[in-house]
Chains A and B, each alone.
Chain A
Amino acid sequence: MSVKAARIAKPLGVLALLAGMWLAFAPVARADEDPPRVTKEAAEAHVRALADSALDILRRDDVMLEQREATFRDLLREGFNLEAIGNLALARNRRAASATELEEYHQLFAEFVLARYSMLLGGYAGESFAIIDAQDSGRRDVVVLSEINRPGGDVIHAAWRVRDYDGAPKVIDVQVENISMVIAQRDEFNSVIQRGGFEALLESLRAQMELLPVEAPS
């Protein structure tokens, strides 16, 4: 983004995010205070645009895998609300963290989830993506059901939970073969924090982010 574009770009509603952070499956606000629900059309369009862009990136076999995935991560960064996902993954354990710890957590978590998803979904060429359905979920969300068809016959079923943030749809959870990213992380993070405190979680995330990739030929 050029500096001019940044100058005129409206910043994301951080206050709106802080006021409207709900657990993925447990809405608690009164109906008359709920932010508007994302429409099915908007949610589908958002997921489809993400998928189309992703496949364009991942099919570039003239670009090194690591570069393809780095570009893919940039795409996910824009299309996902990583701060919301990070908060959902922490749940009540947010109270155990200081402001400084939370800041580092969000930085690490963003990189962690982007890396995990770029490895899970990326690296493949020749697959096709199809949206099967879109369903309302809770007071604010739409879940977009999709299939990713890989060459050779494998099919991955992915469900994308989309929520509206200041008029912009963002993905806040992905279920791959019925395993929710947020719930899986929440369970794991809770276990680590219960055993060793918030610093143990940060240490675990730091270590995972420092793992090296495959070695190239010399």
Chain B
Amino acid sequence: MNRERTNAAQHEGNPVFSVFVTFLFVTAFAFLMISTARAQDDAAPEPTFDDGYAAYQQGDFYQARIIWQELADQGDARALYNLGTIYAQGRGVTADMDAARALWQDAADAGHVRAMHNLALSLIADAGMHDEVQADEEYEIAMSWLERASTEGFPNSQYTLGKMYQYGLSVQQNDEEAARLFMEAADQGYANAQYNLAKLYRDGRGVPRNEEMSIHYFQLAAVQGHAGAQNRLATRYARGEGVEQDDVVALMWASLAAEQGDERAAENRDVLLARMSENDIAAAQALIDEHRASE
């Protein structure tokens, strides 16, 4: 004990020892602080897909891209798809469809149906810029992705594939197959498919001619805001074709379509306005207000 006290007493007055002790203390303190900071970093949550979407909605496309890029690097299919879409749209970056396609390809390979759909459409859009051989190749690849997405039940792809059968694009023209695909998409509420199926029923193409079914599908699409369907209904009601003649309902549909820029609907609206009473015009306006309230 006396020896230890002697040793301590000897160090107390030694400046070198004091510096050494101070150095040890500072080093230990720094180490403690660094460790604490790292622990805090490890505990901070990584930005999520939802965080990226929130940034996107706020218009901070740069931040959205950073977040989704990090997730995409980890193989997140949704992030790959959204990142591709940002590049396709040129949101905060120079539009780059090649980069978009590459990202959509990775997402599609992972089973992302929206990516399959966009990849197919981008190839179709691009085909017109290339020679016939390359265009045919692009159409073939596009078709395979559309078929895969359609098989997965994706209504947008079912509709697009239906249009390709209807127009005979990269496939043998086939109205029955077009109608089948439109119906699958229409039954899922896809307005464009409802509209086109209505026209097939009207014309008896791919399905037996059926006025009632035609109006039914025009109605389904019109209620969802499809301007073309709204104008078709306006014409039917104005002429009493397949429905009881009713200028008030006709004017409602024509006006709703015209508001979306449909010029034929605007012409139909003007014809109706010229022949209707003030009371009937007011009744049509009430129907329009009611329709808008229900949207």
Binding site for B on A (CB under 8 A): 1-4, 6-7, 11, 58, 61, 64-65, 77, 110, 119-120, 123-125, 188, 191-192, 195-196, 200-201, 203-208, 210-217
Residues of A within 8 A of B88 (CB): 211
Q: Is the CB of B273 within 8 A of A6?
A: yes
Known: A65-B57, A207-B122, A208-B125. 9 other contacts (CB 8 A): A3-B273, A3-B281, A7-B270, A7-B273, A11-B266, A123-B61, A124-B59, A204-B129, A214-B85
Whether, in the assembled complex, B27 has its beta carbon less than 8 Å from a beta carbon of chain A, the answer is no
Q: Is the CB of B59 within 8 A of A65?
A: yes
Q: Is the CB of B285 within 8 A of A204?
A: no
Whether, in the assembled complex, B158 has its beta carbon less than 8 Å from a beta carbon of chain A, the answer is no
Q: How far apart are the CA atoms of A134 and B281 in the complex, in Å?
A: 44
Q: If A119-B90, A207-B124, A213-B85 touch, does A110 touch B117 (CB 8 Å cutoff)?
A: no
Q: How far apart are the CA atoms of A212 and B121 in the complex, in Å?
A: 9
Q: Is the CB of A4 within 8 A of B285?
A: yes
Contact residues, B52-109 vs A (CB, 8 A): 53, 56-59, 61, 78, 81-82, 85-86, 88-91
Residues of A within 8 A of B91 (CB): 119, 123
Could you tell me the distance in whole angstroms from the C-beta of A206 to the nearest C-beta in chain B?
8
Q: How far apart are the CA atoms of A208 and B128 in the complex, in Å?
A: 12
From A3, A77, A204, contact of B284 by CB (8 A): A3
Nearest neighbor of A119 in chain B, beta-carbon distance: B89
Residues of B within 8 A of A64 (CB): 57
Q: If A6-B258, A200-B128, A210-B121 touch, does A215 touch B59 (CB 8 Å cutoff)?
A: no
Q: Is the CB of A203 within 8 A of B128?
A: yes
Nearest neighbor of B57 in chain A, beta-carbon distance: A65
From B56, B81, B124, contact of A204 by CB (8 A): B124
Could you tell me the distance in whole angstroms from the C-beta of B139 to the nearest C-beta in chain A?
10
Interface pairs A-B: 3 shortest CB-CB: A192-B128, A207-B125, A207-B124
Residues of A within 8 A of B135 (CB): 195-196
Residues of A within 8 A of B207 (CB): none
Q: Is the CB of B259 within 8 A of A1?
A: yes
Residues of B within 8 A of A2 (CB): 285, 288
A-B contact pairs, 5 of them (CB 8 A): A3-B269, A65-B57, A195-B130, A204-B129, A213-B85
Whether, in the assembled complex, B50 has its beta carbon less than 8 Å from a beta carbon of chain A, the answer is yes
- Interface flags, B223-250, vs A, CB<8A=1, else 0: 0000000000000000000000000000
Q: Is the CB of B61 within 8 A of A3?
A: no
Residues of A within 8 A of B127 (CB): 196, 200, 203-204
Q: Is the CB of B118 within 8 A of A195?
A: no
Q: Is the CB of A215 within 8 A of B114?
A: yes
Whether, in the assembled complex, B160 has its beta carbon less than 8 Å from a beta carbon of chain A, the answer is yes
Q: Is the CB of B114 within 8 A of A65?
A: no
Q: How far apart are the CA atoms of A120 and B89 in the complex, in Å?
A: 8
Q: How far apart are the CA atoms of A200 and B131 in the complex, in Å?
A: 12
- Interface flags, B39-55, vs A, CB<8A=1, else 0: 00000000001100100
Q: If A120-B90, A204-B124 touch, does A215 touch B285 (CB 8 Å cutoff)?
A: no
Nearest neighbor of B125 in chain A, beta-carbon distance: A207
Whether, in the assembled complex, B214 has its beta carbon less than 8 Å from a beta carbon of chain A, the answer is no
From A65, A110, A201, A215, contact of B78 by CB (8 A): A215
Whether, in the assembled complex, B251 has its beta carbon less than 8 Å from a beta carbon of chain A, the answer is yes
Could you tell me the distance in whole angstroms from the C-beta of A62 to the nearest C-beta in chain B?
10
Whether, in the assembled complex, B255 has its beta carbon less than 8 Å from a beta carbon of chain A, the answer is yes
Q: How far apart are the CA atoms of A64 and B288 in the complex, in Å?
A: 24
Could you tell me the distance in whole angstroms from the C-beta of A4 to the nearest C-beta in chain B?
7
Residues of B within 8 A of A120 (CB): 90
Q: Is the CB of B270 within 8 A of A6?
A: yes
Whether, in the assembled complex, B219 has its beta carbon less than 8 Å from a beta carbon of chain A, the answer is no
Q: How far apart are the CA atoms of A6 and B57 in the complex, in Å?
A: 35
Contact residues, B238-295 vs A (CB, 8 A): 251, 255, 258-259, 261, 266, 269-270, 273, 281, 284-285, 288
Q: If A3-B285, A207-B125, A212-B117 touch, does A217 touch B49 (CB 8 Å cutoff)?
A: yes
Whether, in the assembled complex, B196 has its beta carbon less than 8 Å from a beta carbon of chain A, the answer is no
Could you tell me the distance in whole angstroms from the C-beta of A34 to the nearest C-beta in chain B?
27
From B58, B59, B156, B288, contact of A210 by CB (8 A): B156
